[in-house]
Amino acid sequence: MTLRAAEIVRARIDLVAPFRTSFGTETARSLLYLRLIGDDAEGWGECVAMAAPVYSSEYVDGCEDVIRRFLLPEVGPDTTAEEFVASVSPVRGHPMAKAVVEAALLDHQLRARGVSLAGHLGAVRDRVPSGVSVGIHDSVPELLRTVEGYLRAGYLRIKLKIEPGSDIGQVRAVRREFGDALLLQVDANAAYRIDDAAHLAQLDDLGLLLIEQPLPEDDLAGHAALARRIATPVCLDESITSLESARGAIELGACSVVNIKPGRVGGYLAARAIHDLCLERGVPVWCGGMLETGIGRAANLALAALPGFTLPGDTSASDRYFLRDVTAPFVLEDGHLAVPSGAGIGREPDPEVLSAMTVRRDTVPIA
């Protein structure tokens, strides 16, 4: 399992269409991959941070700096993912940066042992139901055409991004057009305040699975108050940054559903711990997405195959976001994506595709 070097790969990939949320519109992703090079195997991790600190305080260039200066120095030739997590606990915050290194270490050590990430985490399924996240649209007809296309493609659940001024009417139109049987939920990305509770209560008669992160991430008291005032289940995303924050949110009554994003909570080991807590407390969970390419998507599918993931996640097919993924594409089949069964994350970058996307590569020796 001996590691010799780490390679930081910076790349760029265009999205097939602009993706608009309450905090902005994305047309491309600035990518950061970490490749760990060992005597017997490699390991890959993908950073989920955005180019700007708008979803969270982390951003991709900052993550690279933290990885170089504070995290990679904690990785020795025989460091395991578990040892790394313990060693970097004095580094405050930066879960997305930590998650990249942890993922690459997990991938490397599991490949060396011939064990899949899904098996290591405790997966109970070989495929997971797939939902799709639909960005904010300028018009209702345009939104309906987009949703219809995703339903034709076979997605089992639709998530609509919302913000003040683009919410109740659009959601109502989708429900009216596609019927009560459609699994439908909304995501506000913290765009509302507790004073908007009466407005958000208008969603209650639309039979939604949940409303995701309606209020700012640090307003757990507001979420608890909102949960008492609306019938639609409240799900937390940005507020869930650790096992402790998840436990606190559940005990406060701030949510009845949790979206687990490994990058947001510091990695797949922390994500599994949050899953275990929610399973024990009877809180449904699902796996969110951060526009990952195939490297991050492969690992997310392994996580989403755990028993507590009872709701379809944002584990969409590769062609939802990219004309050509960096790995072999994930393809939707009967509304599901297959969980990789190979060693580690079960996917590797296509060298030619990665080379065409790459902006720079830097090698860091591991001593």
Beta strands per DSSP E along 3-105: 3-21, 24-38, 42-46
Residues 6+ away with beta carbon under 8 Å from 161 = 20, 21, 22, 133, 134, 135, 136, 186, 187, 188, 189
98 is catalytic: no
Residues 6+ away with beta carbon under 8 Å from 207 = 175, 180, 184
What are the backbone angles phi and psi of residue 212, rounded to the nearest 5°? Answer: -95, 130
Tokens for 238?
């940005």
Helix, strand, coil in percent for the chain, rounding step 5: 40, 25, 35
Query: Tokens 């979803």 label which residue?
Result: 55
Which residue, 298, 292, 320, is CA-closest to 32?
292
User: What SS3 class is residue 7?
Assistant: strand
User: What SS3 class is residue 274?
Assistant: helix
Residues 6+ away with beta carbon under 8 Å from 223 = 214, 215, 234, 236, 239, 249, 252, 254, 255
Q: Identify the active-site residue in 20, 29, 111, 161.
A: 161
161 is catalytic: yes
- CA 25 to each of CA 20, 55, 94, 297: distance values in angstroms, whole numbers, following the listed order: 4, 12, 24, 21
**Which residues are bridge partners to 129 per DSSP?**
336
Instruction: Judge contact between 278 and 307, C-beta under 8 A.
Output: no
Amino acid at the residue 51: A
Q: Identify the active-site residue in 35, 98, 108, 261.
A: 261
Catalytic residues: 161, 261
